[in-house]
Amino acid sequence: MTDVRPPAGIEAGTGTAHHTGGSGGTEALRETIAAELLAARARTAALTDCVEDADLTAQHSPLMSPLVWDLAHIGNQEELWLLRNVGGRDPLHPEIDPLYDAFQHPRAERPSLPLLPPAEARAYAHEVRGRVLDLLAASPLEGAPLLDAGFAFGMIAQHEQQHDETMLITHQLRPGEPALAAPPPPPAPVDAATMPAEVLIPAGPFTMGTDTEPWALDNERPAHAVELPAYFLDTTPVTNAAYQRFIADGGYDDPRWWTPEGWEHRQRAGLTAPLFWKRQDGQWLRRRFGTVEPVPPNEPVLHVSWYEADAYARWAGRRLPTEAEWEKAARHDPATGRSRRYPWGDGPPGPEHANLGQRHLRPAPAGSYPEGQSPYGVRQLMGDVWEWTASDFHPYPDFRAWPYKEYSEVFYGPEYKVLRGGCFAVAPVACRGTFRNWDYPVRRQIFSGFRTARSLEEA
């Protein structure tokens, strides 16, 4: 997932944005936008106020920025897009723009920059937000592409929540005592133990992507018909217990299960288990946000790379689903032939549907959230863990970069693999059935897991 940059020369929300005509509809949209912006800022504050300044300015991993960089970057992007671009305002602090340009400075070098210290970063973000709320109150929310349905405001709300997820990853990498707390997810429902392991998704067309989601980003568009053969898909993500069987069977030591690139990386990086796992006194332990605990057997496996997910699937005699297969299982309603916003329907996510918004700091047990399952009976397609797919990150037919090419277009290609469905760290505003994430196949610090598929002819 990348950073928002304007063109050269520019518990967390509801996840809803509906564009309705009339002054009443505009006011409702304005209230929705304000709620999403405030929810994102409350989460940003929670993630940055829970540690001392030294933790904010430290780089806890070369893969991640210092937390204080994310904090000021959030404010800078909000100023660039909303105050300057939409509002036509003069820059507040143009001298800091280069410091917070994600394309100009890779994460590894950001600690060496003259970044705003924590108090100044907070003050800057606060000042920007106050002016943005004033701008929102006066905006017609129509009449220009960036304003239609409040798109620019929605894009910024999503951007902040995406950086909140990034900061949560930094917290997971951060050494020391725990700084965050959240209640555990509810236990698995009674029927989780008797669910079928897989379901058949029949052959046929479905509509992939969207033309109607008001805050959808450019790579989610346009809607287009996709014809798929029949396939089987796991009803839940692969669990820790299942993944431990792969480890115990020598899965990390057998090149048969790995692509050539994956085997080379496995050897070079010394991979033997998911990130943050260790074997001690005959059991697997994991470190989770500063706490060391036994690996829960019935939770979806977390912190695995695409190479590891692909190797497991091969070992199991299966494969990773394609991105289209994942989306059909998540969105297609065979009774009506239409594609839904979410697996459960078009209504916004609630706590009964999915594990989202940092409500819990871990995935829920496999088989959870029966009210959130798709019409095919597939569960946990939203939330819990990002799910690796077999697909490279490519544009849809007739893709158009908007409002700037650096969000998606510069990343298209075989270097990146697509992940779908969000995770427990993703806010509802940045998670929907069409949302696409992407990353390098070596990445493990992200909250990534997977489920497997198989073709009908393999039955």
Could you tell me the pLDDT band of residue 18, with boundaries at 50, 70 and 90? Answer: very low
Over 70: is that where the pLDDT of 60 sits? yes
Among candidate residues 33, 28, 13, 115, the one with its CA nearest the CA of residue 78: 33
Q: CA-to-CA distance for 127 and 133, rounded, in angstroms?
A: 10
Average pLDDT over residues 37-64: 97
Could you tell me the pLDDT band of residue 382, with boundaries at 50, 70 and 90? Answer: very high
Q: CA-to-CA distance for 185 and 195, rounded, in angstroms?
A: 19
List, for residues 329-381, the tens digit of each pLDDT value: 999 999 999 999 999 999 999 999 999 999 999 999 999 999 999 999 999 99
Residues 6+ apart with CB under 8 A from 126: none
Q: CA-to-CA distance for 205 and 281, rounded, in angstroms?
A: 51
Determine the pLDDT at residue 20. Answer: 42
Q: CA-to-CA distance for 230 and 198, rounded, in angstroms?
A: 13
Q: For helices 151-173 and 67-78, what crossing angle results, to 10°?
A: 180
Q: CA-to-CA distance for 228 and 135, rounded, in angstroms?
A: 46
Range(s) within the chain of domains with CATH label 3.90.1580.10 = 190-240+310-458
| Rg of the chain over all Cα atoms, to the nearest angstrom | 22
Q: CA-to-CA distance for 186 and 355, rounded, in angstroms?
A: 10
Determine the pLDDT at residue 458. Answer: 66
Q: CA-to-CA distance for 155 and 293, rounded, in angstroms?
A: 37
Average pLDDT over residues 26-53: 97
List, for residues 438-451, the tens digit of each pLDDT value: 999 999 999 999 99
Over 50: is that where the pLDDT of 12 sits? no
Q: What is the DSSP string of 310-371?
A: HHHHHHTT-BPPPHHHHHHHHHB-TTT-PBPSBTTBSSPP-TTT-B-TTSSSSPPPTT--GG
Q: CA-to-CA distance for 7 and 15, rounded, in angstroms?
A: 26
Determine the pLDDT at residue 13. Answer: 52
65 phi and psi, to 5 degrees?
A: -80, 160
List, for residues 245-304, the tens digit of each pLDDT value: 999 999 999 999 999 999 999 999 999 999 999 999 999 999 999 999 999 999 999 999
Average pLDDT over residues 111-130: 98
List, for residues 158-216, the tens digit of each pLDDT value: 999 999 999 999 999 999 999 999 999 999 999 999 999 999 999 999 999 999 999 99
Tell the residue number behind the tokens 């009964």, with chain if given. 352
The percent helix, strand, coil of the chain (3-state, each to 5) is 40, 15, 45
Among candidate residues 330, 451, 319, the one with its CA nearest the CA of residue 381: 330
CATH top-level class for 22-173?
mainly alpha
Residues forming beta bridges with residue 380, ordered by sequence position: none
Determine the pLDDT at residue 8. Answer: 31
Average pLDDT over residues 95-107: 95
Q: CA-to-CA distance for 214 and 146, rounded, in angstroms?
A: 11
Determine the pLDDT at residue 457. Answer: 79
The pairing of strands 448-449 and 386-393 is: parallel
pLDDT over 90 percentage in the chain: 93
Could you tell me the pLDDT band of residue 21, with boundaries at 50, 70 and 90? Answer: very low
Over 80: is that where the pLDDT of 14 sits? no
Mean pLDDT of the chain: 94
Average pLDDT over residues 95-99: 97
CA dihedral of residues 158, 160, 162, 164 (deg, nearest 10)? -140
List, for residues 390-403, the tens digit of each pLDDT value: 999 999 999 999 99
Angle 196-197-198 from CA coordinates, rounded to 5° = 90
Residues 6+ apart with CB under 8 A from 376: 199, 201, 233, 329, 332, 334
Give domain 190-240+310-458's CATH architecture: Alpha-Beta Complex (3.90)
pLDDT over 70 percentage in the chain: 94
Average pLDDT over residues 408-429: 97
Burial class from Cβ neighbours inside 10 Å (0-12, 13-18, 19+) for residue 35 reads middle
